Structure 1
């Protein structure tokens, strides 16, 4: 099988290749084609992959290209992890919002709207090329905002595009471990949107053990989301929220924490240093990437953990891995017909009451050779559902704005977001993002 990786010069691509190296079942991915607009970044990542492959008898072959059609042709799977505007665009996503006293984050709030507005047109064009050159390929989307981009690509590819995220499975893993249970032997009750979901149940041997977790202070203290949001708040909700709900429940604190260097600014500096270092010392590529990865992982949501006193990330979390394992499990389930259940971003249908049938939601799914099918979920409580409905309306407005070039709809998307406080501010957001992000200005030239 051939896997095309879009955004193949990205820092986290070695994680995917590492997972492929450990996969020995048949059929397996035998060739990886890395596509990126930057040949320099592709060269750096190729050096890291060669280091990872050393010692393996039959590692997947690696090719690199800056031509999208070359990457897509004859692909069995396409992994999409592109960042339109690069990390410079991410820093603008954060800073423009913060300068207006709003949340500065790449997927949540106005930053997520800006990211979506410039990414949706690119994602749809990519989907069209996939439909033309690899119509039987399955597309695994990790391009953020993942739910929104998956929904946009579905207009072209239908059921053959599936969105993934590592946040829900990480939450389930932490909740199970806190109760001394094997995460592989629990069934999560989880529902919502990408970066906006809640763990409302955790079944083990026919019993919901989540109430036991919520009642146990010592166990809750082992769950990062509970430390981040506070055990009393989580207990009061009756569910453990996805970590990104921090930005909704602790908005003022999150804005205040953004007064220093933002996550995007930190990553931009770190990754510039990494890519430059490998170009200077390619023989040391793997060691440099390993150090940079450790720094990146340990600093994840550091500003939020500092404000709330959540402490450092646990060693178990750092070693457990993330989206690369989800991508591999999804490919294995489809390619080898290995049935499994996973939390994925798929078309809702009737799975999550209260949201449109064509909306992409994040829910447990049954996966096999025919693809992913959402499982029916419990109706979300009103406070959860209302927030999910409002954010989904924003996502769908972003898609329409981006595909039509409508400035009015772009302003509407900002204004409708629950983390934006006025229509006037929404207009200032669009102007600010247009001034700093050329890729967004190209969609809405003004």
Structure 2
């Protein structure tokens, strides 16, 4: 089995490598190729990756290349984890929206749109290369904004499934609080990527006992603290929203907060510098503790599980993924990409049935899906007016003056990545 990781020079990658090494029985990789245009970073990460495999007695071969075509040749699956423009572009996404009084965040709002515009054309080019190399290869997209990027891939006819670590993070957290194994915890996870709610937490499977009320009663303070939301909001909802819902539920408060501290991108850039120095240490043969602060917790385990299922090598039969709606949420188009529990196998992902949603959640999902329609159109066809319409449709913008100012700033900060600008 051969896997390729595009964006393999990311400081995330040792987390992925550690998972591949530990879970070799689930996903028996014979060859792993790390692909990245940043040759210096790639060699540092590649060296550590080989040492991690060696320490854990994994017989798989790890190679590195800056050549996408060479890297994806004959790959059974390709994982995409790229960041077009790097942390510098992310820093812009997190700062210029604040000038207009809007949230600065790299995956939602105006910053998320900027990331989508930069990313979709690049990902589609890579996907075409994968298809030419092996039309049967699966593409696993971890590249944000996952929902929009996965939709672009699916609409172009690629064998693709989107992946996020929010659900597996909740599963692991709830398992610890309940003192059970993660495999015993089933989430009623519903929504769009970075716009999801845990409507139930069931023990033993989809039809198991819903212990969410117990979790909120006994551990509500800890759960709310992790979400950076007031306990009373979580209690009033009676569900657990993802961390990203704070940008919607506490927008103005978050804008004030973001304006008083360095951007997350600045923090991550400093962390990455330290991590890369560690990766260059020839005695380091495991992922460093600092990596846990970088983000992406449990990404490796989710990626292994998904790849194993898609490639017919086991894996959990039900996983949270991003895939076509196909009637699951009846108020959305079939070709909307949703994030829900799905049955996953070698033919792809089929969402499980979802109970009728409270309008409180359905309304916001429908609103953001409409924005994603317009965002994808802007990413594929370009043009200032398309960017403006997408911003005007986003519930975190929604005002004419804001959309005008944000459009100008988005284009000014991203000209080098926009062929039409």
TM-score strictly above 0.5: yes
Match of 1:329 among 298, 305, 328: 305
Match of 1:213 in 2: 215
Pairwise CA distance, 1:34 = 0.9
Q: Secondary structure at the match of 2:106?
A: coil
2:366 is the counterpart of 1:389:
yes
Pairwise CA distance, 1:294 = 4.0
Distance in 1 of aligned mates of 2:292 and 2:149 = 28
Distance in 1 of aligned mates of 2:225 and 2:114 = 26
Match of 2:9 in 1: 9
What do the CA deviations read for 1:286-306 (whole angstroms, capped 9, x no partner)?
A: 57x615414435xx9xxxxxx
Pairwise CA distance, 1:25 = 2.2
Pairwise CA distance, 1:134 = 1.6
Note the residue ranges of structure 1 that are not aligned, 5 or more in a row. 301-320
Q: 1:389 to 1:50 in 2, by over 3 A?
A: same
Q: Secondary structure at the match of 1:9?
A: coil
Match of 2:171 in 1: 172
Q: Secondary structure at the match of 2:55?
A: coil
Match of 2:319 among 332, 342, 354: 342
Pairwise CA distance, 1:374 = 0.7
Pairwise CA distance, 1:91 = 0.3
Q: 1:338 to 1:283 in 2, by over 3 A?
A: closer
Distance in 1 of aligned mates of 2:336 and 2:285 = 40
Structure-to-structure mapping, 1:180-195, within 5 angstroms: 180-195=179-194
Q: 1:224 to 1:71 in 2, by over 3 A?
A: farther
Match of 2:291 in 1: 293
Distance in 1 of aligned mates of 2:128 and 2:77 = 15
Pairwise CA distance, 1:26 = 6.9
Match of 1:265 in 2: 266
Match of 1:422 among 389, 395, 399: 399
Distance in 1 of aligned mates of 2:46 and 2:229 = 40
Distance in 2 of aligned mates of 1:363 and 1:59 = 35
What do the CA deviations read for 1:188-242 (whole angstroms, capped 9, x no partner)?
A: 211100010111112235322222333x1x3223425666222221121121101
Q: 1:27 to 1:49 in 2, by over 3 A?
A: closer
Distance in 2 of aligned mates of 1:392 and 1:227 = 23
Match of 1:403 among 356, 370, 380: 380
Structure-to-structure mapping, 1:138-153, within 5 angstroms: 138-153=138-153
Match of 1:199 in 2: 198
Distance in 1 of aligned mates of 2:373 and 2:398 = 19
Match of 1:434 among 411, 414, 417: 411
2:343 is the counterpart of 1:366:
yes
Pairwise CA distance, 1:58 = 3.5
Distance in 2 of aligned mates of 1:379 and 1:416 = 25
Q: Secondary structure at the match of 1:83?
A: coil
Q: 1:167 to 1:339 in 2, by over 3 A?
A: closer
Structure-to-structure mapping, 1:124-163, within 5 angstroms: 124-158=124-158, 160-163=159-162
Pairwise CA distance, 1:420 = 0.9
Higher helix share: 1
Match of 1:314 in 2: none
Pairwise CA distance, 1:357 = 0.6
Verify the 8 A CA contact 2:224 2:230 in the aligned structure 1. Answer: no
Distance in 2 of aligned mates of 1:220 and 1:438 = 45
Match of 2:122 in 1: 122
Pairwise CA distance, 1:14 = 1.1
Q: 1:172 to 1:292 in 2, by over 3 A?
A: closer
Moved more, 52-61 or 77-86: 52-61
What do the CA deviations read for 1:86-135 (whole angstroms, capped 9, x no partner)?
A: 11000000111112221011112111111111111111111211221121
Pairwise CA distance, 1:278 = 5.2
Distance in 2 of aligned mates of 1:255 and 1:140 = 33
Pairwise CA distance, 1:439 = 3.9
Distance in 2 of aligned mates of 1:226 and 1:7 = 29
Distance in 2 of aligned mates of 1:191 and 1:149 = 19
Distance in 2 of aligned mates of 1:10 and 1:226 = 26
